[in-house]
Chains A and B, each alone.
Chain A
Amino acid sequence: MKKRFNLLAVCSLAGIFMAGCNNPSSSNKQSGAMATNAAERVYVAPGEYDEYYGFFSGGFSGQLSVYGLPSGRLFKVIPVFSQDPEKAYGYSEETKPMLMTSHGFIPWDDAHHPDISQTDGELDGRWIFINGNNTPRIARIDLEDFSTAEIIEIPNSAGNHSSSFVTENTEYVVAGTRFSVPVPQRDISIKEYKGNFKGTLSFISVDQKTGDMNLSFQIMMPGFNYDLAHPGRGKSHGWFFFTTYNTEEAHSLLEVNASQNDKDFIAAVNWKKAEEYIKAGKGKKMPTKYAHNKFDNSTHTATSTMKEEVLILDASELPGLVYLLPTPKSPHGCDVDPSGEYIVGNGKLSANLTVHSFDKMLKAIESKQFDGESYGIPILKFEDVLAGVVEQPGLGPLHTEFDDQGNAYTTFFISSEVVKWKLGSWEVIDRKPTYYSVGHLMIPGGNSRKPDGKYLVAMNKITKDRYLPVGPDLNHSAQLYDISGDKMELLLDFPTIGEPHYAAAIKADKIMHKSREIYKLDENKHKYVTKSPADAKVVRNGKEVHVYMTMIRSHFTPDNIEGIKVGDKVYFHVTNLEQDFDVPHGISMLGANTTELLVTPGKTETFVWEPKEVGVWPFYCTDFCSALHQEMQGYVRVSLADSNIELSWSLDDE
């Protein structure tokens, strides 16, 4: 009896001792994230910086969000294709033209694939491009301002999905149409799809100094669906590869009717050849209509221009421009490895991953052993271009990225996993589950000659039980893996905005030092700038009234205005006189049918107010700017339309 109790005491003590003192060396042996010091590896201490900027497309939010990696902290949401009341993007008079299209003002789009500009095949951090899928557009975001600098609409396109990937010196950013449509648009029966509907692949040139985009040419292609794309690099620089599906040219119930062919194609486009054809005058000008919108950083104002012509190269008529590489079955992702040799086609309905060889493709083209043609475009023989096959790696492959050690990583939507495999030997090395239904994945620099094989981010469509439930719709998630070892390790997951279709990441030190702090007042060329409170004024021009207003901690000049009448259209042109980093001021007017303005230092922005009732109406600063922020306010007196009260304005009754 006694012995037993003593034994029990010893056992309990040992148990308590082992469980109680959780020293670090023993914790490594436990399972779970805490055990692998995952928390430590993603922890960025308060006041310290992340190692990477991660730019995540917002999908149906239309925006681009900026996260820090590895922490997963959200820094900013850059408005691109959708109005943003927080920053007055698409609401202020200056930014409304950014959302103009040939269909008029469109306040939203479906933002897809961000891609950072490159020089010599490496990310250079000058700009990031992103495509609008619904009303085909490409935006360029300036990485000094972290704001949208330019949006160009893509004509003859519908569902701009295989976009906006750049060539290795950012010569071009591309846009391939997902839907084929009648080109030019016309009133015909949908049943006449076959042969009448066309697809275009657009090449938008980029000015290397200013970043200005120009729709250089479009390649007219058969009426397939063009899904994704990636550029050749290194030895394959000069080529661009696009996946196609619906080579059946079905016009209804595509999930069945576009899944009939054993193989669809990867279209290999020789864009250097395209340039030769253009020089030789083989391009045909075609009338069309598309908007080109630019934001000017000195006038702080966007302009929208309607363009009316595009240069077309017909792939069916110009030999050597495009070749078709047979690829099983309805390939989605089209990814090129860092060396430029391997082109991976992820057949959504295929059991295997197909990898083509660039060298073999060139040889096959040279020997002219074609497997027929489609609308005059030569089809290469599958066996002639095949580099290898990754056998049965998972279910529903979508996208592939690469590290700097000769490995590839592919997402599998149906089996919810990332699979790591070896280029050349095609063997599967590792697989890790995702939570759940992963779409895109991203390795910093993964679409370049020099990927950074440290982290991988998987972007998941379904999050179900991963976070506290918040009603029927849930944010999508991103999951961060450490890929520096042989085995991938899941470190962190964090919710994302909208639906991230792809992301791009770059080392922070490549862009953080050039990030803008202020706009210089003496460089402000806005038409209605007020550079000194002495120049603040209110000007009437018929029923139009222009208020030239300044803001500084913590008052507006003027802050009392009288003589406004019902029926006036009052433009508030507000200049922030601050010249210090991170001191924006806001302004909003009771009853104005628009958003606030959030004016960053040195900038001028405009909102319009159309007062409908007499009275005295207040306005105030919407961004807590100083200890006296609550004092930053003003009044506007509104009188009847036939009143004879003179226009007057003041600050402190002067």
Chain B
Amino acid sequence: MKTSSNVFFLLVMSLGLLVSCNSKADKMAETESIITNERNVKTAEETKTISETEMQKTAEASERIDLENKGVGPVKSLILADIDQKLAAKGQEIFKNMCTACHKPDKKFIGPAPKGILERRSPEWVMNMILNPEVMIKEDPLAEELLKEFNGAPMANQNLKEDEARAVLEYFRTL
């Protein structure tokens, strides 16, 4: 009797030790449950977004007007003067080489047409979309919606310099 209780004690103790030593596994389990919680929260948010989108379905993202939103990127503030035709001509050339694979000036193509864009978007937003498309489609809700509207074809970053993007913007004003 005494013998068996000793053996029992040994087993219990070793189990306890084994479990307590395995602190790494414990931590992993904790982390996992946190991730699971985050996932739940996100799912709930996504559902909300979808229902909101459905409510606003009256206007596609490309047709909606938002002149306050400056987008996310290097251009913070831009005040437009009279149209500079020389700059616009330079912009047209850049547009032809860098953008026409996906954009036609006055017709929806892979991406939206730039014609009349400044009636719907701020100049800052347009330049940031050209200069910083990867971040825009993630952080700017309108850009994110545009990506969906245009079949999930993400705008390519053509590595234009800021002055080149400014010239393209000037060209858009002439359309």
Q: Do A and B bind each other?
A: yes
What residues make up the interface of A, taking CB atoms closer than 8 Å to B? Answer: 1-2, 5-6, 8-9, 12-13, 16-17, 20-21, 518, 521-522, 531-534, 550, 552-555, 557, 577-580, 583, 626-628, 652
- Cβ of B153 under 8 Å from chain A: yes
B-chain residues with CB within 8 Å of residue A579 when the two chains form the complex: 98, 156-160
- In the assembled complex, the Cα of A5 lies from the Cα of B96 at a distance in Å of 90
Name which residue of chain B comes closest to A1, CB basis: B3
A-B CB pair tally, cutoff 8 Å: 77
- Do residues A13 and B110 form an inter-chain contact, with CB atoms below 8 A? no
- Do residues B159 and A532 form an inter-chain contact, with CB atoms below 8 A? no
- Do residues A627 and B6 form an inter-chain contact, with CB atoms below 8 A? no
A-chain residues with CB within 8 Å of residue B2 when the two chains form the complex: 2, 5
- The contact sample of 28 A-B pairs, CB cut-off 8 A, is A1-B3, A2-B2, A2-B6, A8-B10, A9-B6, A9-B13, A13-B10, A13-B13, A20-B18, A20-B21, A531-B97, A532-B100, A532-B101, A533-B100, A534-B96, A552-B102, A552-B156, A555-B101, A578-B158, A579-B159, A580-B156, A580-B159, A583-B156, A626-B153, A627-B153, A628-B151, A628-B152, A628-B153
* Cross-interface CB contact of A532 among B10, B97, B110, B154, cutoff 8 Å: B97
- In the assembled complex, the Cα of A427 lies from the Cα of B14 at a distance in Å of 53
What residues make up the interface of B, taking CB atoms closer than 8 Å to A? Answer: 2-3, 6-7, 9-10, 13-14, 17-18, 21, 96-98, 100-102, 109-110, 151-154, 156-160
* Cross-interface CB contact of A555 among B18, B110, B158, cutoff 8 Å: B110
Q: Kindly name the residue among B10, B101, B156, B157 whose own CB sees the greatest number of chain A CB atoms within 10 A.
A: B101
- In the assembled complex, the Cα of A8 lies from the Cα of B157 at a distance in Å of 71
Name which residue of chain B comes closest to A6, CB basis: B6
Name which residue of chain B comes closest to A517, CB basis: B159
B-chain residues with CB within 8 Å of residue A628 when the two chains form the complex: 151-153
Give, as a whole number of angstroms, the nearest-CB distance from B11 to chain A.
10
- In the assembled complex, the Cα of A555 lies from the Cα of B109 at a distance in Å of 12
- Do residues B14 and A5 form an inter-chain contact, with CB atoms below 8 A? no
- Do residues A9 and B159 form an inter-chain contact, with CB atoms below 8 A? no
Give, as a whole number of angstroms, the nearest-CB distance from B149 to chain A.
14
- Do residues B152 and A627 form an inter-chain contact, with CB atoms below 8 A? yes
- In the assembled complex, the Cα of A577 lies from the Cα of B152 at a distance in Å of 19
- In the assembled complex, the Cα of A518 lies from the Cα of B98 at a distance in Å of 14
- Do residues A16 and B3 form an inter-chain contact, with CB atoms below 8 A? no
- Do residues A16 and B14 form an inter-chain contact, with CB atoms below 8 A? yes
Give, as a whole number of angstroms, the nearest-CB distance from B107 to chain A.
10
B-chain residues with CB within 8 Å of residue A552 when the two chains form the complex: 101-102, 156
B-chain residues with CB within 8 Å of residue A16 when the two chains form the complex: 14, 17-18
Name which residue of chain B comes closest to A522, CB basis: B97
- Do residues B158 and A5 form an inter-chain contact, with CB atoms below 8 A? no
B-chain residues with CB within 8 Å of residue A518 when the two chains form the complex: 159
- Do residues B101 and A577 form an inter-chain contact, with CB atoms below 8 A? yes
B-chain residues with CB within 8 Å of residue A534 when the two chains form the complex: 96, 100
- In the assembled complex, the Cα of A134 lies from the Cα of B18 at a distance in Å of 62
* Cross-interface CB contact of A5 among B7, B21, B156, B157, cutoff 8 Å: B7
Give, as a whole number of angstroms, the nearest-CB distance from B134 to chain A.
9
Q: Kindly name the residue among B3, B14, B160 whose own CB sees the greatest number of chain A CB atoms within 10 A.
A: B14
- In the assembled complex, the Cα of A628 lies from the Cα of B155 at a distance in Å of 12
- In the assembled complex, the Cα of A78 lies from the Cα of B151 at a distance in Å of 37
Q: A521-B98, A533-B100 are in contact. List 14 more A-B contacts (CB 8 A).
A: A2-B2, A5-B3, A12-B14, A13-B14, A20-B18, A21-B21, A531-B97, A552-B156, A553-B102, A580-B157, A626-B154, A627-B154, A628-B153, A652-B109
* Cross-interface CB contact of A9 among B10, B98, B101, cutoff 8 Å: B10
Given contacts A12-B14, A16-B14, A534-B100, are A553 and B159 in contact (CB under 8 A)? no
Q: State the 7 A-B residue pairs at the shortest beta-carbon distance, nearest first.
A: A552-B101, A579-B158, A20-B21, A579-B159, A580-B157, A9-B10, A5-B6
A-chain residues with CB within 8 Å of residue B18 when the two chains form the complex: 16, 20
B-chain residues with CB within 8 Å of residue A12 when the two chains form the complex: 10, 14
Given contacts A21-B21, A579-B159, are A553 and B153 in contact (CB under 8 A)? yes
B-chain residues with CB within 8 Å of residue A5 when the two chains form the complex: 2-3, 6-7
Give, as a whole number of angstroms, the nearest-CB distance from B31 to chain A.
17
- Do residues B153 and A9 form an inter-chain contact, with CB atoms below 8 A? no
A-chain residues with CB within 8 Å of residue B9 when the two chains form the complex: 9
Give, as a whole number of angstroms, the nearest-CB distance from A413 to chain B.
44
- In the assembled complex, the Cα of A91 lies from the Cα of B174 at a distance in Å of 46
B-chain residues with CB within 8 Å of residue A9 when the two chains form the complex: 6, 9-10, 13
A-chain residues with CB within 8 Å of residue B151 when the two chains form the complex: 628
- In the assembled complex, the Cα of A583 lies from the Cα of B159 at a distance in Å of 12
Name which residue of chain A comes closest to B147, CB basis: A627
- In the assembled complex, the Cα of A9 lies from the Cα of B3 at a distance in Å of 11
- Do residues B156 and A553 form an inter-chain contact, with CB atoms below 8 A? yes
Give, as a whole number of angstroms, the nearest-CB distance from A530 to chain B.
10
B-chain residues with CB within 8 Å of residue A554 when the two chains form the complex: 153
B-chain residues with CB within 8 Å of residue A522 when the two chains form the complex: 97
Give, as a whole number of angstroms, the nearest-CB distance from B96 to chain A.
5
- In the assembled complex, the Cα of A16 lies from the Cα of B153 at a distance in Å of 59
Name which residue of chain B comes closest to A555, CB basis: B110
Given contacts A553-B153, A580-B158, A628-B152, are A533 and B101 in contact (CB under 8 A)? yes
A-chain residues with CB within 8 Å of residue B7 when the two chains form the complex: 5
A-chain residues with CB within 8 Å of residue B101 when the two chains form the complex: 532-533, 550, 552, 555, 557, 577
* Cross-interface CB contact of B154 among A1, A20, A553, cutoff 8 Å: A553
